[in-house]
Amino acid sequence: MDEKTLLDHENAERILDEGWKLFQQKGYRGVTVDELCRRCGVTKPTLYYYFQDKEALFVRVLSHRLHGFGQAFDRPGPLAQRLQGVALSLLGSFTADPASLMRDREHIKKPANRQAIREAFHRELMGPLTRLMSQGIAEGALKRDAPETLAVIFLGLISNFIGRAGEMKTDSAALAEKLAGYFLKGAGL
Give per-residue pLDDT as tens, 33-75: 999 999 999 999 999 999 999 999 999 999 988 887 777 777 8
Q: Specify the range with the lowest mean pLDDT, choosing from 51-55, 60-64, 96-100, 181-185.
A: 96-100
Q: What pLDDT is attached to residue 155?
A: 93
C-alpha 89 chain-centroid distance: 9
**Are 124 and 103 spatial neighbours (Cβ–Cβ below 8 Å)?**
no
Query: 156-165, pLDDT tens digit by residue?
Result: 999 999 888 7
Q: What pLDDT is attached to residue 51?
A: 94
Q: What is the pTM of this model?
A: 0.83
Residue 49 to residues 42, 90, 169, Cα–Cα distance (Å): 11, 31, 44
Which residues have CB under 8 Å from 66's CB, separation 6+?
A: 120, 121, 123, 124, 125
What's the CA gap between 106 and 102, in Å, rounded? 8
Cα–Cα–Cα angle for 15, 52, 31, nearest 5°? Answer: 50
For the cut 60, the answer to whether the pLDDT of residue 6 exceeds it is no
Q: Which domains can be identified in the chain, with CATH numbers?
A: 3-63 (1.10.10.60), 68-185 (1.10.357.10)
**Are 70 and 125 spatial neighbours (Cβ–Cβ below 8 Å)?**
yes
Helices then strands, counting H and E runs in the chain, come out as 11, 0
Q: What pLDDT is attached to residue 86?
A: 92
Q: What pLDDT is attached to residue 67?
A: 85
Provide the terminal-to-terminal Cα distance of the chain, rounded to the nearest Å. Answer: 55
Query: How high does pLDDT run on average in the chain?
Result: 89
